[in-house]
Structure 1
Amino acid sequence: MSFQTVYQQKRLSAADAIRVLRNGDTIIVPSGVGEPPTLLTALSEARRDFRGIQVSQIVPIRKFDYMDLETAENVRHTAYFFGGCTRPGGQAGVYDYYPNHFSEMPEMLRREMFPADVVFALVSPMDQHGYFSTSLGTDYTMAAVKRARAVVLEVNPNVPFAYGNCHIHISEVTALCESEAPVTEVGLPKIGPVQEAIGKYVADMIPDGATLQIGYGSIPDAVVMQLTHKHDLGIHTEMVGDGIMTLVEAGVVTNRKKNYQTGKMLATFALGSKKLYQFMDRNPALEMHPVDFTNDPFLAGQNDNLHAINATMQIDFLGQCGSESLGVVPYSGTGGQSDFVRSANRSKGGKAFIVLPATAKDDTISRIVPTLTPGTHVSTSKNDVNYVVTEFGVAQLRGKTAKQRCEALIGIAHPDFRGELREAARKMKLL
């Protein structure tokens, strides 16, 4: 029987395809724009027909009706990482979340530490060999496919077919539907003078030939904008976005100097524009892999000169980073920050940067604090943090004493807060 014949046998409407669900199932959905909008819309429309369904995902992009808190007993979101769509439900206590390292999620799925009954995923059209590509969200999806009772795909011609370990065979598919809507585009964050200043400090410390991991946000993007004069950079990251594509087009990223996976850019999910998605399609220089390959500190750390750039919201005198909550109130999640901080620490010549504006709320609050706000979730520990960068400079903490760290961090705090920070440090016997 041909692959096309099997394909036609499994092709259904989205409304029929979601009927593989059973009450109490957990649906695994890829991160970001890898979410299948037609399937999730059909689930939303039929949500009152079910009870006890959970949808688990990192960073949903669209706010679907199934996220209605009034029907949470029918279908409820469970977060691996909160995004703008799910943050209100998380902060209201309706949505629960799984603390995790991004790199460990596939293994946690394999060990059945996370439930995974059904996979819903957005994929490319099937190739002549019967394979679909999960290019936009490879992440933990591939491990979930192996675990799930049912795999339901939304096939869209606008999804790129990428290379790497990101392919699902038609024989693994329970049902599929088709759509032709454009893939959701995610614009670049707003970059202002503060972000530019931080970006310049970081960019100046990145040598030619370095391999980069670039997180999402205005400051990492500000770093990218200031790398256009560099040479022979490489990419080993979790997210591929428009900034990286721009560096490739400018000839800055060649991957020639990478000593691990030489000549290849590696990532596990994509977030950007239509142009980015077209850039990914059958691009032999880019491979999309599961997150336990891209983010594993042992593997990523085999890149010499790995430079990892990630943002935080608050940091204390010892260097503990609170990147995912506002006190006890959840905001996002750990994601790959600690994965890549540890990767860069392992790398020969590597540097891990934690970046943050010195203040918040129109310069009324210092983000550098004596102690983290009570209840804050620590994302990067004091033992892992290395370079901390604000618009006022760079503090290098790894290998430094508690007192040296405190002095260095106060030195890059906003000048208006340095006096009170020094007074707090003296009371804590750190100065």
Structure 2
Amino acid sequence: MDYRKLYREKFISIEDAVAKVKSGDHIVTGLGCGGATAILEEMVTRKKELKDVVIHQMLPLYNYRYFQEGMEDSIRHNSWFNSPYTRKMVNDKRADFTPNFFHESPALFSNYHEINILIAAVSPMDRHGYFSFGLSVDYTKPVAEHADLVILEVNQAMPRTLGDSFIHISEVDYLVESDYPLPELPVSEPDEVELRIGEYVAELIEDGSTLQLGIGGIPNAITASLTDKKDLGIHSEMLTDGMVDLVEKGVITNRMKSIHKGKIIGSFAAGTRRLYEFLDDNPMVEMHPVSYTNDPFIISQNYKMVSINSCIEVDLLGQCAAETVGITQISGTGGQTDFVRGAVKSPGGKSIIALKSTALKGTKSTIVPVLSQGAVVTTGKNDVDYIVTEYGVAHLRGKSASERAEALINIAHPDFRAELRRQAPYLR
């Protein structure tokens, strides 16, 4: 088969790609860097023609023009995990929000939605006719298998990641080309409090452990505290710059992993150009659909699996609110529950929720007697394992309500401990 000839036959302009959209269509686009930016930006040109189009996406990293106020009757966003670009839209009711466990998102798309079109950014085609979903395999690859129409946006900047990350040109309906730069997330320098948290977390991580962690000041502080560890592995939904640091220092070898020995396993990536270059055509890294990476059963097969996540507030039972402030939807569940449950089932595994002891410039304790009214529980009291702040570690699993309250008060900020003790509903 002449794949280049087939490419030319399926190649259309961005304007023609947007013309394929009909009123009432449900469209899925890739998470983060996998968003088909050129196509999505062109969608606004059809505002007057289209009605009730829904675009489903997690964590957009680009402020698309269709996010503008007044577009929602024509093209409405359905957020499956908020980013700063969609947070206000959702809470202003100009966009919708779909609760989900990340590992279930491909099944939710295929079982509960008729997906008319998948549009996704991919790497250039190889000589065998394959495109890589690059930085966004997650739900994007599985949805491509079920969508009525598949339109790929070929971007020279997209890394060619390996693993279960490919789609063949024979499975594609249309192709466009784009030179949009990939979104980048700068590496945030951890502050003094985050560095102390990182040190406490590092004490819980043994040589030979396999890790899941994300992005931000606390994860960066944790990776900075792991430089004396040996033979760590990665099985994580998200791949980050901090992991590259540990590979280059010889800390991450994946040598002791019980599954996918020698391999970093991920589902999506976001960070700097350095990370994207590291991932490009790297045989150490395998990207897989999130239905695999985040399946708690698969996660649990990793020996000494350690999941590291964060939350906004935690109550004295250990219930963690990681996605809302009261009723305001900040982000989403993502893979937190998937990895919490998988890690604690792993032989020698641990689940860690790490957070600063205060918020709002030290005026509010993040450890509270009861969660704020309307707050959503992301990690429940029966799932929680370790909670870490800059004041220490509270191991809650298997503890009574009274023991949990005592342990959490001991790692709260000293300014709030007396009041927490006074209000604690579970202390003896």
Length-normalised TM-score, structure 2: 0.98
Partner of 2:12: 12
**What's the CA shift for 1:130?**
0.8
Partner of 1:223: 222
Partner of 2:138: 139
4+ residue stretches of structure 1 with deviation over 3 A? none
Distance of aligned partners of 1:429 and 1:101 in 2 relative to their CA distance in 1, 3 Å threshold:
closer
* Per-residue CA distance 1:364-423 (angstroms, 9 max, x = gap): 111100110111111000000000001111000000000000000000000000011000
The alignment partner of 1:69 has SS state of: coil
Partner of 2:170: 171
Partner of 1:243: 242
| Distance in 1 separating the partners of 2:242 and 2:46 | 39
* Per-residue CA distance 1:34-71 (angstroms, 9 max, x = gap): 11211111113333321111111111111111011211
| Distance in 1 separating the partners of 2:47 and 2:260 | 44
Cα pair 2:150 2:172 within 8 Å, conserved: yes
Cα pair 2:405 2:426 within 8 Å, conserved: no
Does 2:150 match 1:148? no
Does 2:237 match 1:234? no
| Distance in 2 separating the partners of 1:355 and 1:44 | 41
- Output the amino acid matched with 1:339: D
* Per-residue CA distance 1:233-292 (angstroms, 9 max, x = gap): 100000011111111111111101001111111000010111211111111110000001
- Output the amino acid matched with 2:79: A
**What's the CA shift for 1:147?**
1.4
Partner of 1:430: 427
Partner of 1:87: 87
- Output the amino acid matched with 1:74: S
Distance of aligned partners of 1:227 and 1:429 in 2 relative to their CA distance in 1, 3 Å threshold:
closer
Does 2:95 match 1:98? no
Cα pair 1:59 1:81 within 8 Å, conserved: yes
Equivalent residues in 2 for 1:43-54 (5 A)? 43-54=43-54
Length, aligned pairs only: 428
Cα pair 1:20 1:150 within 8 Å, conserved: no
Partner of 1:64: 64
- Output the amino acid matched with 2:106: P
**What's the CA shift for 1:216?**
2.4
| Distance in 2 separating the partners of 1:402 and 1:292 | 34
The alignment partner of 1:62 has SS state of: coil
Does 2:236 match 1:212? no
Partner of 1:419: 418
The alignment partner of 2:48 has SS state of: helix
Distance of aligned partners of 1:206 and 1:429 in 2 relative to their CA distance in 1, 3 Å threshold:
closer
Cα pair 1:191 1:219 within 8 Å, conserved: yes
| Distance in 1 separating the partners of 2:350 and 2:51 | 48
Cα pair 2:214 2:240 within 8 Å, conserved: no
Cα pair 2:189 2:220 within 8 Å, conserved: no
Distance of aligned partners of 1:247 and 1:123 in 2 relative to their CA distance in 1, 3 Å threshold:
same
| Distance in 2 separating the partners of 1:33 and 1:219 | 23
| Distance in 2 separating the partners of 1:190 and 1:421 | 31
Cα pair 1:357 1:367 within 8 Å, conserved: yes
Partner of 1:299: 298
Distance of aligned partners of 1:187 and 1:48 in 2 relative to their CA distance in 1, 3 Å threshold:
farther
* Per-residue CA distance 1:106-162 (angstroms, 9 max, x = gap): 12223x213422111010000111110002111111121111111111101111111
| Distance in 2 separating the partners of 1:143 and 1:163 | 16
Cα pair 1:368 1:410 within 8 Å, conserved: yes
| Distance in 2 separating the partners of 1:216 and 1:57 | 19
- Output the amino acid matched with 1:67: F
| Distance in 2 separating the partners of 1:116 and 1:318 | 41
Cα pair 1:368 1:409 within 8 Å, conserved: yes
Which residues of structure 2 form unaligned runs of 5+?
none
Cα pair 1:48 1:71 within 8 Å, conserved: no
| Distance in 1 separating the partners of 2:124 and 2:306 | 35
**Larger CA deviation: 349-358 vs 35-44:** 35-44
Partner of 1:256: 255
**What's the CA shift for 1:189?**
2.8
% identical aligned pairs: 45
Length-normalised TM-score, structure 1: 0.97
| Distance in 2 separating the partners of 1:328 and 1:181 | 36
**What's the CA shift for 1:211?**
0.4
* Cα RMSD for the two superposed structures: 1.1
| Distance in 2 separating the partners of 1:5 and 1:136 | 27
Partner of 1:34: 34
**What's the CA shift for 1:429?**
4.5
- Output the amino acid matched with 1:165: D
Cα pair 1:206 1:307 within 8 Å, conserved: yes
Partner of 1:203: 202
* Per-residue CA distance 1:11-56 (angstroms, 9 max, x = gap): 1111111222111111111111111211111113333321111111
